[in-house]
Chains A and B, each alone.
Chain A
Amino acid sequence: MATTAKEDPGKDEDVTMAETSVASSPKELRNVLYARCATFPEDHVFDQNELLSFKILPENTVEQLSVHTKYLTKEGLFKLMSRDGKACWKVVKRADAAKYKTLTQDEAIVYSYIEASQREGIWSKLLRNKTNLHMTTMNRAIKSLESKNYIKSIKTVKWPNRKTFMLSRLQPSEDVTGGPFYTDGILDEEFVHQMSYWIERYIIGRSWWHPPLHEPSKRKSNSKLTQEQAEELRARDVSRRVHGRPRSEAMLPYPAAYNGYPTLAEVTRAVNASELSGVVMRESEVGQLLDILCWDGRLEKIRGGRSYKAVRRVAGEDGAMLENGLTESPCGRCPVFDICEDDGPVNARTCEYFQDWLEL
């Protein structure tokens, strides 16, 4: 009967004890039942039939089972739930159950909801609605839970002003933290800038041909390369290319047949290989950076958006802006252009910007 329980890692002394002796007393029976259930994955939900099928209880009747489960639930070791209108249970770890025992009733309710919210956390207003507790009662419960270091307050990226709580032992999920671009719920602009700068250089190196600065004369002399030599040359070539390049006037286009324009997967791999970021970047996050670079007009998507190519000339680089007739004229940048009228306070005759511009 208790054979399966032997495979239990045996965290619980009570349980192992119960296994060895023949299970007879109700307490022992409960322990065996609990231990049997604990072998399942943490979030497994047992229904009545499943529990009966363990054949732990001597008579194995529904009545008997309900007595035991009721007791276990009261102890906080089982959590009563319902599915399709029928009762079912979930196992609670002994350590957690012990926590509940030390809590007051209000605290237990609050704690249970915070626990249920898992890594997402729960907004204090929502918590109040769900628990139906009075503001002061709830605040007291929260304060006490915080002082016991059971829960912590976190900041979510989406709603930075909301007070959100989660269990202190959990790490907030990426939805909450906003991924690698956020530190403590605040956008890390420098990180974004540095990462996109690196990616841009990497893509420039891959999408334009940079004429070599020094012509390798050695290579021409021996037309037949051995395998090793060729590989070595190539490795050097590649290493030079992977580190990326700045934009330059000397950049030349690759022929149309060239298909080395990097894809999202390639960029992600390169970024992670560079180990610039402390955490491993996922494709979606690198994709976000690439999107931004595209929107900044520094990259463009080619091949139906699968590959990325660097734009040849970009405004704002090295201080040189791409100007056109409008933006370079004094009117194109005039802050009072809208009120500039023939007989108005500002007009072509009195314009100071024109004066400055003409005296350039």
Chain B
Amino acid sequence: MSTDVSNLCVLLVENLYGELTSRIFRFLLRDGRLSTPALRYHTGLSLRQVQHGLSVLVQQQLVFWYTSAEDSTVYEANTTVAYNLIRAGKYVQLAEEQLGNFAAVTVSNLLLLGHARVGDLVQAYGLDRTEGTNDPAAIVTQPSIKSIYNGSINTDIFSDKNRISLASVHMTLRELLRVGFVSLANESYFRSEADNRTEAGKVVPPPEHFRAKSKRDNEAQRETAIQEKLEEWKYGTRAEKEQYAPIVNGKKRQLDDSESLQAEKRRRLLLPPNGHALSARTAVNTSKLEGTNALNNDLVLCINHDKFAVALRNRGLTALADEAICKSTSNIYAEVLRKLETNTRACKESSDVPDIGDGPELGDLPYVSTDELVNVIKNSEELSETLGKVEGNSGNATELEHPKKRRKKKELESDDEALVVGDASPDEEEEDESDSEDGDESSDSEQANGDAEYSLNSHPKAPEDTHRRFIRDHLLLLAKHPHPFLQHMTETPVLPERWTIYYPPLMKSIIHHVLLQIITTRYGQPAARLTRLLSERGKVDEKNLCSLSLLNQKSMRSYLTTLHKSGMIQLQEIPRDNSRNPQRTLYLWYFDAERCRVKILQETYKTMVRCLQRVRVEGDKVKGTLEKASRTDVIGREEEFLGVQEREALEKWRQVEERIWGELGRLDELVGILRDF
């Protein structure tokens, strides 16, 4: 972990949760896992303060904690959640886009609370005042988090309280659970990965238990058992999944007596042993919500960062498709992504999926069929209008038939011209292409097979199904693009035509694209040319580089030096003899995309840190005015209490803050691409 990331995390925590928490958080980041006494020693705080700070951190899932057998609890910083604080605004926005206003409010409340029981959440809306619990963390965080949302979403809709019914709260929660933006929290969420493994190791019986032939097999079986256990903890056991599936899917089904036993079990699982944050009340009053399939009040919910990352990735991909192809294609792509989103739990879950090399295994990935898409996407003129006409004119039927005749005619003539002429490339070339493409990379094979099929003249579908045809055309465009946006799986006797996305190569290609974009804007076009050349050709010596890039040797050298100095490209020296004489040494330049990615990522973190620091600097400049403006008696009556200058300063400060936070959002997009997606 670099200093920049930890600085960033500390700053984010400090911004939202204040000095005390961030101080503890900083020491946890600096010194690794610490117990409460150790924390007291390092931070110089009183036990009370440390406990108070830790309770906030635990509530917000900003620290992992683990109680070992020796009965001392140790705490560890959770940088993932800390970093994701910066995305809070985007989460709310996404929830609003997909599930409406009220879902956005719920998500923002859940963000405020960190993790919460359903009962507490319901109570937070003021619907169930009988079950009052005090949640200190929520109170602590309420004022400061406003800086993120600008206080708009929360207060506005809270004032509309009378519209909210208990049933609608539960429905929204269910909806959020179904989409996956919110997940059921359990103990494992509060432990770091390593601790989870240790725990799983304790639960799973020792190797001797597995009666395999050899010791190694035993170990292997135990390993899979541990992995299963971890999986269970993360996504719930199968029984639990079955149990909650109907609730989540919104089918009417009450928790009856036969299931109450399981629910009890689940409840126990959900309660952390030391009970810091969760009150261990079991009083459930589901009968109140007659007729609705309410969620158990004791379920603990938390934000599912993984799923939000998936949603953010989809957003980024759609924007990229728009940039690379066109608007309506990206709309269709968004539809595909939305369909696939439900089956994608996290951006990088495929780590356990073995390397997919060939077509048949693509079938294991979640897919969406053409028919599904045709049903979802509205028929509109736009689909056809945004595609070029092969003939280059308004494309009536007669024109489409012409090329064939013309081609024949051209073949009789000297075909020199025919090649220069746009669409009249000779047939044999086309066939030749599809043949040879079979041998190419794996993903190409299917497309090549498709080639013959979707050539315009031999399209099997009748003209009345133009809607489908246009959708297919857009999808094929995506599949054929140099960024492998989609993988096309042709129709089989059993399965219809399907589309899927294989993310690793896609993301690799996008990361490369983004890196090059940064290099272009920073160092200029020739620098990008050199970098692309190096990434394509591998290691190249200066002389070859010069002749390949068609650049002046002098200017090329200056570009190389700048790139090298900033760590974008590397230089390798190979002495030709033992003397290591520079005259007799080969110098090879090369581009290491991974190294470059890490470098840029670090720079992005650092930039974010600087932005956050600058926000504070700017804030300090107008400190007095800000303090005055945030006085309770001034809020709402600014006109009365603040002078013209003060109001101007405030306005300016607001703009500056907005600008910097906007910038932070965009920087976060970059981090998403380079790190998470």
Contact = CB atoms under 8 A, between A and B. Distances in A.
B477 A255 contact: yes
Given A158-B543, A223-B398, A237 B392 contact: yes
A252 B326 contact: yes
Contacts of B533: 291, 295
A206 B29 CA distance: 56
Interface string B319-356: 00001111001000000000000000000000000000
Contacts of B480: 256, 302
Contacts, number: 211
Interface string B404-429: 00100000000010011111010000
A349 B600 contact: no
Interface in A188-238: 189, 192, 206, 208-209, 212, 215-216, 219-220, 223-225, 230, 234, 237-238
Interface string A291-309: 1101111001111101000
B586 to A, nearest CB: 16
B390 A306 contact: no
Interface string B177-218: 000000000000000000000000000000000000000000
Nearest to A215: B394
User: Looking at chain B, what size class is its interface with the partner chain?
Assistant: 35 or more
Question: Chain A at the B interface: mostly helix, strand, loop or mixed?
Answer: mixed
B393 A258 contact: no
Contacts of A181: 550
Given A256-B473, A312-B325, A321 B617 contact: no
A209 to B, nearest CB: 2
A303 B433 contact: yes
A295 B528 contact: yes
Interface string A248-284: 0000111111111001011001100100000000000
A65 interface: no
B430 A259 contact: yes
Nearest to B423: A260
Interface string B384-406: 00111111111010100010001
A304 B451 CA distance: 13
A319 interface: no
Contacts of B600: 326
Contacts of B648: none
Interface in B349-393: 386-393
Nearest to A258: B390
A323 interface: yes
B30 to A, nearest CB: 15
A349 B603 contact: no
Contacts of B444: 304
A329 B393 contact: no
Nearest to B387: A255
Interface stretch (A38-46, A136-144, A331-339): A331-339
Chain A contact-residue range equals: 35 or more
B388 A253 contact: yes
Contact of B670 (A187, A223, A324): A324
A333 to B, nearest CB: 7
Contacts of A257: 390, 454-456, 473, 476
A294 B521 CA distance: 17
A294 B532 contact: yes
B550 A187 contact: yes
B482 A269 contact: no
B520 to A, nearest CB: 5
Interface in A26-81: none
Contacts of B532: 294-297
B551 A259 contact: no
B614 interface: yes
Given A297-B520, A297-B532, A315-B517, A259 B423 contact: yes
A119 interface: no
Given A256-B476, A260-B425, 11 more contacts: A237-B392, A241-B392, A253-B386, A253-B477, A255-B473, A257-B454, A295-B532, A306-B433, A321-B521, A342-B613, A349-B617
- Return the 5 tightest CB-CB contacts between A and B, nearest first: A209-B388, A256-B476, A325-B666, A348-B613, A331-B607
Interface of A: 157-158, 178, 181, 187, 189, 192, 206, 208-209, 212, 215-216, 219-220, 223-225, 230, 234, 237-238, 241-242, 252-260, 263, 265-266, 269-270, 273, 288-289, 291-292, 294-297, 300-304, 306, 311-313, 315-316, 321-329, 331-333, 337, 340, 342, 347-349, 351, 354, 358
